[in-house]
Amino acid sequence: MFESLKRALVPGLLMLGMSSCGDDSVVVWLHLSNVMPDVATLQVLITLDGKAAMQQYEFTQGLGEVAIKLRKEQLGQGQLSVSLYGLRADRCRVASGKYEAMVSVDQPLAEVGVALGLLTPVPCPEGEVRPKLVKVPNGGFMMGSPTGEPEAGADETQHMVTLTTDFWMAESEVTQRQYRNLMGSSPSFFQGDELPVQSVSWFEAVEYCNALSVKEKLTPCYQVSGTTVGWADGVRCTGYRLPTEAEWEYAARSPASTVYAGSDSVDGVAWYSTNSGSTTHAVKTKTANGRGLYDLSGNVYEWVWDGYQGNYEALPSTDPIGSLTGAFRVTRGGSWDYAATYARVARRRYYQPALRSYNLGFRFVRSNP
């Protein structure tokens, strides 16, 4: 029976018609929803009357539909169970779904909808190399500090900005485990797999983005020659990259405009000097903002792409990008060793791109393909 089952599973992309569902087979056609962009492979495991098929099946195309054929003359009737798993490119299971039914020789074609549910937390193997992605839709917002915001800086002039490209942002800062699994080692001072990687220079953050693109078979965004870093395609590139300063602040505003990322009260959303105990903390241990993004305020400062420009309001109002060759690169978000005002979503700081510091980390984005 299971040898025939092994032959019978076919991807829905083949567009099985009634002619392929003749009298010698039972067909169950599963229409999958919630197939996230993270999902690169669909893994299908089948049991009949509690006995597993001789192998599991994996598909990298036609992930929205799966058809299952069981030969009638060898079937009789039984309890069919189909477990479906969505795998990222790094083989981490990020979603799952299940279909169970009694099947028999006189069963007509069955078409069933199955929703893949997000696995939370994601039970990834040691080889995990990046955080989960959260989609941030394009739109417009007021960038900078609103009038009257306490301790606003002179370089936080409020102005209208429009972003025309959807993008996916890492839900958290890159962790030490993820960084080490991809790059081979972690430079962090504070040690812990789920702590954000820190003591990473801007150049090293760029290297990580390119390495992640290569691992997931995407074209790297950056062209690197020594300390010269080009970004030929800008936000049109399809690989991983650092967010622009405007993208970072837009994502941090949740999308409601609050002083900190997700709240007007700092303690619920940020690790900063008053509550950190003089150390970093595991990512995602404070409340996410309204977009489902963690630690945009506090924990570690995050490198962004832009070179620092004090009057950023003078940049184009549509898809602004700061200097490509400036001596300083912008960081955002505050950190474990700075006061609450530095965790404000409008607060700007900048450092030389070669600097490594106990309070410097990063997260990445990817333009929506």
Same CATH fold, 133-367 and 2-118? no
The band of 325, judged by pLDDT with boundaries at 50, 70 and 90, is confident
Q: SS3 letters for the chain?
A: CHHHHHHHCEEHHHCCCHHHCCCCEEEEEEEEECCCCCCCEEEEEEEECCEECCCCEEECCCCCEEEEEEEHHHCCEEEEEEEEEEECCCCCEEEEEEEEEEEECCCCCEEEEEECEECCCCCCCCCCCCCCEEEECCEEEEECCCCCCCCCCCCCCCEEEEECCCEEEECCCCEHHHHHHHHCCCCCCCCCCCCECCCCCHHHHHHHHHHHHHHCCCCCCCEEECCEEECCCHHHCCCEECCCHHHHHHHHCCCCCCCECCECCCCCCCCCCCCCCCCCCCCCCCCCCCCCCCCCCCCCEEEEEEECCCCHHHCCCECCCCECCCCCEEEECCCCCCCHHHHCCCCCEEECCCCCCCCEECCCEEECC
pLDDT value at position 5?
34
Q: Which of 21-25, 52-56, 254-258 has the highest mean pLDDT?
A: 254-258
**In the structure, what pLDDT confidence band is assigned to residue 20 with cuts at 50, 70 and 90?**
very low
* pLDDT tops 70 at residue 14: no
Q: Where are the domains of the chain?
A: 2-118, 133-367
Of all residues in the chain, the percent with pLDDT exceeding 90 is 59
At the fourth CATH level, the homologous superfamily of domain 133-367 is paralog of FGE (formylglycine-generating enzyme) (3.90.1580.10)
Average pLDDT, the chain: 85
94-98, 102-106, 251-255: least confidently modelled range: 102-106
pLDDT digits (tens, 9 = 90+) for 37-51: 878 888 887 777 766
| pLDDT at 124 > cutoff 90 | no
Residues 307-319: tens digit of each pLDDT: 999 999 999 999 9
pLDDT digits (tens, 9 = 90+) for 64-89: 777 766 555 544 567 778 888 888 77
pTM over 0.85: no
CATH 2.60.40, domain 2-118, yes or no: yes
